[in-house]
Amino acid sequence: MRSITLLTLLLLAWPAAVLAQFGLILPSDDIVGAGENSSLSLRLGLFDPRDRRFQAVHKPRRFGVQHLGEQTDLLATLKPTQEQRAPSTATFAIKRPGDHIFYAETTPQWEAAEDQFLSHQVKLCINAAGLEEGWDEPVGLEAEIVPLSRPYGLWTGNLFSGQVLVNGDPASYVTVEIAYLGLAPEIPPTVTLPAAPYLVQKVRADDNGVFHYAMPRAGWRGFAATIEADWTIQRNGAEKPVALVTTIWVQTRDMP
């Protein structure tokens, strides 16, 4: 009962300025070696770290993969979920060596509590057959995080670095928030939180939009930055702002 009460108090004390949902792309494997099963399963949705809630998204504007500069539209492969709390799914067969960057841009959704629209712009990199090329290439999202550290093959404790871009330019001094998902959506992490701020970490990018974060535990993490778009959407006769939430997911493993 004490642990439940503590969790309730932490959620009640949750800072309003913290990002509530992270755009999500999760794969069945992050490194596909030569001779391994080349068929990937992908899950696309939203993740709320406060209660580990997963949520479906409406059909995104874009969903695709970039391989060595060549992009392939995967929207037709996306299967919507029948459950509100479950991500949509897709499968993709890797046929060529090299890094595959999966990306998605969600349709802007109205957030009444924030009096604005939100558009999630998400990325994930999968390596195939040992050819480590392409992971540091932008995919052309309006807002995106380009990794400066290779985003796979990471040990627990490694430093992850990235650069936040908006329309191809650095997002100076933007705040980057880090959410820990755990080993998999089906495996809730056992984490004792001393206080609410421990749930989502924050770092500030420098004037070139570059940030760094050392990952203390094995599992999946989302790095997200929120930037106001330079365009608006009309709602009930008024122009409302649009926030672009750009996220990249990386996995770390414990060194044997």
pLDDT along the chain (256 residues), means of 10: 39 53 95 89 94 86 97 94 81 96 96 94 97 97 98 98 98 98 88 91 98 97 97 96 98 96
H-type alpha helices, the chain: 2-12
Q: What is the pTM of this model?
A: 0.91
pLDDT of residue 17: 59
- Evaluate whether 47 touches 31 at the Cβ level (below 8 Å): no
Distance from C-alpha of 33 to C-alpha of 211, rounded to nearest angstrom: 30
pLDDT of residue 45: 95
Torsion over CA: 240, 230, 147, 139 (sign):
positive
Torsion over CA: 37, 41, 47, 53 (sign):
negative
Distance from C-alpha of 203 to C-alpha of 35, rounded to nearest angstrom: 39
Distance from C-alpha of 108 to C-alpha of 176, rounded to nearest angstrom: 20
What amino acid is encoded at 120 in this protein?
A: H
Radius of gyration over every alpha carbon of the chain, rounded to an integer in angstroms = 18
Please report, for the chain, the start and end positions of each structural domain, with discontinuous segments joined by +: 2-253
